Structure 1
Amino acid sequence: MRIIGGTLKGRRFSPPKNLPVRPTTDMAKEALFNIIQNRFDIEDLNVLDLFSGTGNISLEFASREVQHITSVDLNFGCVNFLKNTAKDCGFHQVKCIKADVFKFLNQETEQFDLIFADPPYDIPKIPEIATIVFSRNLLKENGVLIIEHQSMQNLSANPHFIESRKYGYATFSFFSQTNNSL
């Protein structure tokens, strides 16, 4: 795992091998951040990273000087690794929370500019993420929800769906309150 941009560009991390993760590939992550940086003033974002795993995406946002990042994962080892790595890097803007993502979403009241979700590909509740985010009004005006999922899955039935971008076996589906295309 490595940071591809920002203040720690090129820095590599070695998470423990026993963590139940499937990190976003560098190619897909670079494409994702190109899209995000073309749409937002990235340093002004309030980001929620769901199913954060090793913190690959959270650390990338922090390296690009995003000021507020909330990372949520159920696995204690993942949360600990991200918490320690963020501290070692001096990324005090990363707030790690150990919680079930669906319970967290159903209790959260804060609004975010960008919500990124990278759930395990095999969970059947992936479409529920967008439903909960919009029913709970968790995005700020012009905010975006991005869900990474396997390319065989289609999330376009949600009324807030904008578009999807495929990178190998992974697809990023984009959702917004305003339905403006990226």
Structure 2
Amino acid sequence: MRIVSGKYRGKHIVPPKNFKARPTTDFAKESLFNIISNNYNFENISALDLFSGTGGISYELASRGCPDVVSVELNPVHHGFIKKTIEELGFKEQIRAIKQNAFIFLKGCNQKFDLIFADPPYDMEGIEQLHDIIFEKNLLTDEGWFILEHSKDREFSNKPFFIERRSYGSVNFSIFGKE
């Protein structure tokens, strides 16, 4: 896994062998961030990275200058790796790593974000609830996006606020926004 762009462009992040996370592929991540960068100035947004896994999305955001990233990961090994990598890369001022269940975090969250990214396990039951909680609690800014990474077998185009679906091999992103 590598950071695709920004201050740490090309930096390789190597998780331990016992990692069970499935990082977003570099190709899919680069394609997604090209779309995001055409719509947002990273230096002016706040972002939420749910089911952070290796923390790759959080590092990508911080490397591009995002000043406020919240990284939520429940697995203690993954969370520890994220905290260690934040320290090593000097992202302590930009990324807050929280060890918590993503659904519980969302239900208690009152902060609005310009960008919410979620990469739950592809086979997880109830991932459609992420969308429902985010929009019911009004956790996006007016121009904000919620991006859900999922398998090709899942379909979310019937959900309110759906904008588009992008596919990159086995990686699929459904994008939602208020406008």
Match of 1:151 in 2: 152
**Alpha-carbon distance, 1:14 to partner:** 1.0
Distance 1:110 1:73 in 2: 17
Q: Note the 1:76-95 alignment, pairs <5 A.
A: 76-92=76-92, 93-95=94-96
Distance 1:174 1:11 in 2: 27
**Alpha-carbon distance, 1:153 to partner:** 0.8
Q: Note the 1:1-182 alignment, pairs <5 A.
A: 1-92=1-92, 93-178=94-179
* Cα RMSD for the two superposed structures: 0.7
Distance 2:20 2:140 in 1: 28
TM-score, with normalisation over the residues of structure 1? Answer: 0.96
TM-score, with normalisation over the residues of structure 2? Answer: 0.98
Distance 1:107 1:96 in 2: 16
Aligned residues with identical type, % of pairs: 48
Letter in 1 for 2:44: D
**Alpha-carbon distance, 1:78 to partner:** 0.8
Q: 1:164 is paired with a residue of what secondary structure?
A: strand
Distance 1:169 1:124 in 2: 19
Distance 1:133 1:42 in 2: 21
Give unpaired runs (5+ residues) of structure 1.
none
Q: How many residues align?
A: 178
**Alpha-carbon distance, 1:4 to partner:** 0.9
Give unpaired runs (5+ residues) of structure 2.
none
